[in-house]
Amino acid sequence: MHEHLKRLVPVAAGPGPSRVLIFQGLRVRMGMASGTSSAEEVTFNASLGRVKYGGALMAAAKAIQDTAQGGMVLATSSTFKQLSVESLGLLVISMGEHVLKAGEEAVQVYHLLNQALSH
């Protein structure tokens, strides 16, 4: 096991010297989509002081999130193409094509993973 990982990540219980604990506790799943079909999909709520997303964009992000397991961050190919993978230090795994909504075409989905968690 790399020395820097020994300092950053606790060793998991079990046989063998190289067992590393990667996930501990709550794991959320995230889905990322990009692009809007109309200005009404993105509104600013002044009373809450934040932006609210809706419409097809939000439905796409929710559908991608629903394909993920806990601890995963998934993105469509159109969103992935907009990311600077090298500068963010991401490991990218193709998850193949998924039908996110019945009756629609399958889309390419990518799993984005921090390189420190690649074990």
Rounded CA-CA distance 113/14 in Å is: 25
Q: pLDDT by residue (tens digit) across 62-113?
A: 999 998 888 889 998 888 888 877 777 788 888 999 888 888 888 899 998 8
Burial environment of residue 113 by CB neighbours within 10 A (0 to 12, 13 to 18, 19 or more) = middle
What single letter denotes the amino acid at residue 79?
A: T
| CATH numbers and ranges of domains, the chain | 30-117 (3.30.70.1230)
Residue 29: CB atoms within 10 A of its CB come to: 15
- Closest to 67 measured CA to CA, from 109, 24, 112: 109
| Closest to 118 (Cα-Cα) out of 15, 6, 20 | 20
Per-residue model confidence as pLDDT tens digits over 90-102 = 888 889 998 888 8
By residue count, the chain amounts to 119
Per-residue tokens: 77: 């190919």
pLDDT digits (tens, 9 = 90+) for 6-56: 566 555 666 666 666 666 677 889 998 887 777 888 889 899 999 888 888
Q: Which of 78, 83, 116, 77 is nearest to 95 (CA)?
A: 77
pTM for this prediction:
0.69
